[in-house]
Amino acid sequence: MQGGKLSATELTEYYLERSERFQGALNGYISLTRDKALETADHVDSVRRQKGHLSPLAGIPMAVKDNIAVRGVPTTCASKVLANYVSPYDATAVEKLADCPILGKANMDEFAMGSSSLTSAYGPVSNPWDLKRSPGGSSGGSAALVAAGCAPFSLGTDTGGSIRQPAAFCGITGFKPTYGRVSRRGLLPLAPSLDQMGTLTRSVEDAALVLQEICGYDSGDSTSAPHGVPDFSASLIDDVSGFAIGLPKEIMESCPDGGTSRAVEAAARKLEQAGARVSWVSMPYLDESLAAYMLIATAEAASCLARYDGVAYGYRHSSLSLEEMYTGSRIFGVEVRRRLMLGTFNLGTDSGYELGQQAREQISSHLEKLFTEIDLLLLPAAPFIAFPLAEELDPLTMYYNDVYSIPANMAGLPALALPCGESGGLPVGMQMMAPRFREDVLLQAGYTWQCRSDWHLRRPREVEL
């Protein structure tokens, strides 16, 4: 593009056309924003013609998960309660990527509550590797679109694994940065103390490029980290010699999908050959972590979703009685209703949230101790591979999807999901976790892996034309 061989408009048009063509099969978008995308592309092209200043990613289109505010377009969180809501402002990350044409708002689980993208009020998303299977969730649309080549990259959010599990299900790279690295301003919260925005890309290299743009302190988010952002491209080195990698024994032994644990262990051996020291470590309290997560996330969600009352914006049920207007306007789907009930109930008990927070401290301090011995943890991104859309999972089994990813959210750690094999013909993802603010370690290890493997280069056959 800088050489003038390809215009932003041409590139955007290519992705828009692909996005529109596969929308029926994938249902990856809640809204497609063709006009807005072309407007941005045109702006970029004209600035480039005039040799004006552009950001490094200028002209590269993206899909934005529908729980991230984009000015002037619907921001629905895949919920009926926000069906007609148009955000009057941009999220900070979207502002920072202002030169990236926005193809559309990616489908997701309603209010990011789910690990399947089945809870969307706008229909489920299909996995491009097998349209009858789930792409995972909650950033299922974001993951499916990148995997299907409908978007070069997308923005997602991760509260308990919502970037990493769908990245694993769809065979792409998912990066959840350290809590506080990316501003949450404009992220419609599920659980503010756990939510973090991140990227879904084809490769670690792409992730580094996008992260470079969206990370950084924002005075508009009081939980934003004041830490400086290093040059992430400097970490794109094919070298893990001297890295101490910990493999959590309990997880590797108990992973319900044998194909997954085999693929992750094989990846570990390959990294060992590349010079890393791999050792077995103990990562206890997984069940407790999930339980604590449920306490915290549901309580915070019940609080954050109290604002959807039909008064000042969003869907309103017309009624002559205020009380009926309230209940009639809060038309969340069944999963959201269930979690709001759990959350409200435990906000009303004396110790629910506190209990969760105490367990969280415990889990965090254990991980902190672990990282005094190792540089990174290597584990499966999810206990399962993509499951059929038709499969009815009971809520607790569904929540179990996040059991390997939740500890990173509990402790605010950066984590990366990478394709590392297949199981039953479907992608398997492994996960790396590093200490807080050590995105560089993940990028270097992830880059090394992708230099020595080709899983991230494989494309789903369904959408090849």
Any idea which residues carry the catalytic annotation? 65, 138, 162
Residues 6+ apart with CB under 8 A from 91: 68, 69, 70, 183, 185, 186, 187, 197
Q: Indicate the SS3 state at residue 142.
A: helix
Considering only residues 51-70, where is the footprint of other proteins by CB under 8 A? 67-69
Binding of residue 316 to other proteins (CB under 8 A): yes
Rg (CA), the chain: 21
Nearest to 124 by CA among 138, 304, 303: 138
Binding of residue 169 to other proteins (CB under 8 A): no
Considering only residues 107-166, where is the footprint of other proteins by CB under 8 A? none
Minimum CB distance to other proteins smaller for 362 or for 453: 362
Q: CB of 137: closest distance to other proteins in angstroms?
A: 19
DSSP for residue 229: P
Minimum CB distance to other proteins smaller for 12 or for 67: 67
Binding of residue 186 to other proteins (CB under 8 A): yes
Minimum CB distance to other proteins smaller for 359 or for 418: 359
Binding of residue 87 to other proteins (CB under 8 A): yes
Considering only residues 277-296, where is the footprint of other proteins by CB under 8 A? 285, 287-288, 291-292, 294-295
* Interacting residue with other proteins among 89, 259, 422, 462 (CB under 8 A): 89
Q: CB of 277: closest distance to other proteins in angstroms?
A: 29
Residues 6+ apart with CB under 8 A from 170: 127, 128, 129, 135, 136, 143, 144, 146, 147, 386, 427
* Interacting residue with other proteins among 362, 397, 423, 453 (CB under 8 A): 362
Binding of residue 214 to other proteins (CB under 8 A): no
* Interacting residue with other proteins among 15, 85, 384, 449 (CB under 8 A): 85
Minimum CB distance to other proteins smaller for 232 or for 315: 315
Binding of residue 74 to other proteins (CB under 8 A): no
Binding of residue 192 to other proteins (CB under 8 A): yes
Considering only residues 398-457, where is the footprint of other proteins by CB under 8 A? none
Considering only residues 24-53, where is the footprint of other proteins by CB under 8 A? none
Q: What is the C-alpha separation between 215 and 93, in angstroms, rounded?
A: 8
Nearest to 291 by CA among 238, 241, 358, 345: 358
Q: What is the C-alpha separation between 130 and 386, in angstroms, rounded?
A: 9
User: Which strands form 376-380's sheet, in the order they lie side by side?
Assistant: 29-32, 102-106, 62-65, 153-158, 196-201, 173-176, 415-423, 426-433, 376-380, 244-248, 277-281
